[in-house]
Structure 1
Amino acid sequence: MFCRVSLELRYEFNAIGNWTTKSPLSDKLITHSQHPRSVMVWAGICASVKKPLIFVNLGVKVNKDYYLREILQRVLKPRFKSHFGRRVWIFQQDSAPAHKVKEVKDWCNVNFSGFISTQELPTYSPDLNPMYYSVWSILESRACAKPHKSLESLRHSLTREWDLITLEEVRAICENFSSRLRPCIKAKGGHFETS
C-alpha cells in the first residue's frame, strides 16, 4: 500500500510594500506550496507482522512494471512468504492504476492464494482498508508533528515513527477490520457510516 507524505517548506513572507508599516503578524505568516515536495512510501502489515517501510526514489513513476518488479516480486512476496510459509494469507491493495492492470492482477492471483482483487472491493472505501482507515494517519500525524526542513528529515522521521508503532497497535487495527465489513455487508455495498 503506497502513501505520499508531503513536506511543506515553511518560510516567512516579507514582501510588504513601502506604503504601510510592518504588520505585527508578518513574522508569523506561513505560506503553503501548491505542490509541496513529498516522499512516496510503501508499507505492508498484517495482524502478526509489520514490515519495514520502502521508499520510492524521487522522480520514479510507480507504473505497473515498477510495482510488479520492485514491490511485489522483490519486496512483498519474499517478505511475506518468509513470514507465512505455506499458510494462506490475504493480500489486499487499493485501486491505484498500477494495481488494476491485468498483468499485475494475474501475477497476484498466481502468487497470493488469498488475493482480493480491486473488483471485489467497493470502488472507493478507505473504511475497508486498515492502511487507510488507521495506519497512514497514525504514521503521518506522528512523523509530521513538527515541520521538516528537508526530505531526508521527513524520511528519517517516518522511519523512526514507523518503528515505534507497536505490533499490538497493528494487531488491534487489523482485528477491527471485520467490524468495519459488517456495515458494508448490511448496506449491500452501498453507503454506510462507521464510528
Structure 2
Amino acid sequence: MELDISERSVRRILKDDLGLRPYKKIVEPALSDDQKIKRKQFANWVRTNFRKEKTLKILFSDEKLFDIDGIYNSQNERVRVVDRADADKRGAIKHKRKFPQKVMAWLGVCSQGIAPLVTLDEGTVDHACYIEKVLPVALEYGNKVFGNDWIFQQDGAKPHQHYLTQQWCRNNFPSFIDKDCWPPNSPDLNPLDYSIWDELANAIDWNKVKSKSTLIQQLNSLVKKIRESVAFESCASWTN
C-alpha cells in the first residue's frame, strides 16, 4: 500500500522475478538445552550400538487419544462455492463437541507390520493397566514376528517409567530401550507419531462414528488395513 503497487503485481514480483515460494511452518517439539543434550546422547548411542538390520527389529509403541468428533485438515478441506453462506450450506462448518467421548488406543509398529490394537476406554491409563493389558500384547506380537531377538520401545510416559513397568520389561522382553535411554519430548522419533497414527486416522470414516463403541469398531477394523509398505518404510527411515 505504501508503494502503491497492486497485490497482483506484488505476487508476480515475489513469484516470477524473485523466485520465492511460500512454505508452511513445520511444527517441532520445543526442546530445552538439557533435552537437546539427551537427544544427542541417544543418537550417538544408537549409532554406536545399532546396525541398520538391528533397528529393523525394534517394535515401536505409542498411545493416542481419539475422540468421536474425528479430525479434519483446515488447510486442505475446502468447499468451492460462490460465497460463505453457500459454503456453510454445503458442509463447510465443522462441529466440535465441548466434551466429546474419547478412546485411548495403543499400537505397536515394526518393519514386519502392525501389532494388534489395544483400546483402553476406561479413562486414564496407569502402570497397572499398562502392564496387564498392553505389554502382554506387545510381547506376544514381538515373539511371533521376530522370535527371541528383538527390541521393545516405549516413550517416557509416566506408566512406562514406573519401576514395576521397567521391571516387567526387563524380565520378559528379549531387549528394550529403558527409561534412561529414550530422550524426553521426542514424538518425532517414533514412527507412530510421524506416520502410522495419521494413516489410521485418515482411513476412518468419521461419518460413521457416532459413539465410543462405533469409534472402537472403526479403529479395530481399519488398523488391519494399514499398508505394510507404510509400516516398513516408516521404520526403515527411522535412523535417518
Which bracket does the TM-score occupy, shorter chain normalised? 0.7 to 0.9
Partner of 2:181: 120
Q: C-alpha separation between the residues in 2 aligned to 1:163 and 1:27?
A: 33
Alignment size in residue pairs: 163
Output the CA distance in 2 between the equivalents of 1:7 and 1:119.
35
CA 1:121 to 1:149, structure 2 compared with 1: closer, same or farther past 3 Å?
same
- Whether 1:40 aligns to 2:104 is yes
Q: What's the offset of the Cα at 1:148?
A: 2.1
Task: Provide the secondary structure at the position in 2 that maps to 1:178.
Answer: coil
Specify the code of the residue in structure 1 equivalent to 2:100: P
Residues of 1 paired with 2:134 and 2:122: CA distance?
A: 16
Instruction: Specify the alignment match of 2:35 in structure 1.
Output: none
Kindly report which structure 2 residues correspond to 1:65-80, keeping only aligned pairs within 5 A, or say none: 65-73=128-136, 75-80=137-142
SS, match of residue 131 in structure 2: helix
Moved more, 157-166 or 146-155: 146-155
- Tell me, yes or no, if the aligned pair for 1:8 and 1:147 is still in contact at 8 Å: no
Q: How does 1:11-90 map to 2 (within 5 A)?
A: 30-56=94-120, 58-73=121-136, 75-86=137-148, 88-90=149-151
Partner of 2:77: none
Question: CA 1:26–1:92 in structure 2 vs 1: closer, same or farther (change >3 Å)?
Answer: same
State the match for 1:135 in structure 2.
196
Partner of 1:101: 162
1:36-92 Cα deviation digits (max 9, x unpaired): 211111111210131221112x3243111111122113x222222232222x21211
Gaps of at least 5 residues in structure 1 are 10-22, 180-195
Cα pair distance change 1:84/1:30, threshold 3 Å: closer
Which residue pairs with 1:188 in the alignment? none
The alignment's TM-score, normalised by the length of structure 1, stands at 0.73
Structure 1 distance, partners of 2:123, 2:186, is 27
Q: Judging changes above 3 Å, is the alpha-carbon distance between structure 1 residues 144 and 125 closer, same or farther for their aligned structure 2 residues?
A: farther
1:162 to partner: Cα distance? 1.3
Shift of the alpha carbon at 1:156?
2.2
Q: Hey, which bits of structure 1, 4+ residues long, moved more than 6 A? A: none
Shift of 1:109: 2.0
Q: 1:155 aligns with which of 207, 213, 216?
A: 216
The answer (yes or no) to whether the contact 1:144–1:154 under 8 Å persists in 2 is no
CA contact (8 A) 2:127 2:162 kept: yes
RMSD across aligned positions (CA): 2.4
Q: Give the share of equivalent positions with the same residue, in percent.
A: 28
CA gap of 1:149–1:175, structure 2 versus 1, over 3 A, is same
- Structure 2: gaps (5+ residues): 1-61, 71-84
TM-score, with normalisation over the residues of structure 2?
Answer: 0.60
Offset of 1:144 from its aligned partner? 5.1
